[in-house]
A and B are shown apart, each in its own frame.
Chain A
């Protein structure tokens, strides 16, 4: 099952540019039924990948959504066939800045700027190739949720159920700001070299700082305090220097450095840009409800009370727009101390909601 990829021809992008050749790498779990009606598309977040329910080939870590995906689990592999593609612009097999351009060299910063809708169109081409006309469901959290919302807006007839978790219909100024900090950290690293680093040393320190800044936004203050507090790292007293005295510093440094083993700096630039450009209402005359007028897709929206990156108010806007469009929608704010990361964790209520919604 591991390591599947399809070459899917050219892809016209929102920017007007055309990718001459699109490859989408993906993983599948479970078995597609005879009438091809039990497929669930799982969309991943910014730095995740297609290994939602299988071991990551680089890190050796287990799948990132094993809480939800598996036999007998809410996304039940005894009943459903799950497809999880690596998003356009990423670096684990799907076309992105690390892929070869027509001249044989990596695209680097010559790669066209992409959008969330472009990612979704690439996934739709994959489904075409797999012969899956309609999905039982599209499910995703964070940027995965943005893809879910785009799927339901772009291909309503192909999506019977859409579960958008810990997400928003547009990226807020605060979220754009955090992304810009990360991008500037990458671009300030001399090894970045305008994005043309594939034959030399990659900008690992810049990418690590970007990850450190982003990682803070995935947690909550209460969660950080509980996990780290002001505790010192392997020492009895402050060093009066700039070592990682505090556990939180050591943790963030580790998160930053280990991220660079599995992720490409240019991919980080492109995907964060796609998220910043995301504003589903903008493409529909400023009215989000217009994106879903007359839809027959059922929706489920979930937020978490300590998620300040994609707060409940953003989810409510989605819900209100869906209701105004006359769509069938469920919504719940679940309680978790773990901030945005709650969507990846075993948050009470989530199993019940996802399983019940998918039926």
Chain B
């Protein structure tokens, strides 16, 4: 479990034993492999990059190569206990539609994303006048896959707009948890658990 990214560690510890999990943008399948091994979940993944899919399948996982923006329609409604979208929301063309799909497919949805309102990001833009390049957002504006930067408050607003209930939320600074208070300014990373 300790090998997982901090946001995935939170997600993994919150998923119940034997649940069914669809990880959208599952990368090389680290979260799914952990959940399959430690919690005997029914693990499925969707991933855009072929090399990542190959790595995930090599772990014995069932992963389909596809695009969160176009391929979620093929999943049946309510077919998973959890749909997970970790560090992917900010890379899709239509985050709002993807979030709706997530809540349709999963009875619960985990979403994790880097918070663009973190003080370091704000400072970089305010004082530097340049698009921020940080530890969590290391790419420059022209080569970043993060095409829809989002803040904690933006996400809360979107969740409200599409009628989702926030069941739980966690905030991270580096590898450590941080408080809910002032999260929009102080958290580098957010993890939300939603239901439709």
Contacts and interface: CB of A to CB of B under 8 A. Distances in A.
Interface of B (DSSP majority class): mixed
B61 interface: yes
A153 to B, nearest CB: 19
A335 B79 CA distance: 31
Contacts of A328: 44, 62
Interface stretch (A64-72, A116-124, A172-180, A317-325): A317-325
Contacts of A352: 54-55, 57-58
A355 B64 contact: no
Interface in A39-69: none
A319 B62 contact: no
B54 A323 contact: no
Interface in B121-157: none
Interface in B39-95: 44, 50-51, 53-55, 57-66, 74-76, 79
A352 B55 CA distance: 7
Interface of A: 298, 300, 319-320, 323-324, 326, 328-335, 349, 352-353, 355-357, 359
Contact of B59 (A329, A349, A356): A356
Contacts of A333: 50, 65
Contacts of A324: 74, 76
B64 A349 contact: no
B50 A334 contact: yes
Among A300, A326, A332, A353, the one with the most B-chain Cβ atoms within 10 Å of its Cβ is A332
A328 B60 CA distance: 12
A326 B76 contact: yes
Nearest to A312: B65
Contact of A353 (B54, B64, B74, B76): B54
A299 to B, nearest CB: 8
B62 A298 contact: yes
Nearest to A359: B60
Interface of B: 44, 50-51, 53-55, 57-66, 74-76, 79
Contacts of B60: 356-357, 359
Given A323-B76, A330-B64, 7 more contacts: A323-B74, A332-B65, A335-B50, A352-B58, A353-B53, A355-B58, A357-B60
A328 B59 CA distance: 15
Contacts of A334: 50, 54
A319 B58 contact: no
Contact of B58 (A298, A326, A353): A353
A307 B57 CA distance: 22
B6 to A, nearest CB: 27
A349 B74 contact: no
A335 B53 CA distance: 13
Contacts of B55: 352
A192 B74 CA distance: 49
Contacts of A356: 54, 57-60
A319 B54 CA distance: 16
B51 A349 contact: yes
A324 B59 CA distance: 24
Kindly list the 10 A-B residue pairs having the minimum CB-CB distance in the complex, ordered from nearest.
A356-B58, A349-B54, A332-B53, A331-B64, A356-B57, A352-B58, A332-B65, A352-B54, A320-B74, A330-B62
A326 B79 contact: yes
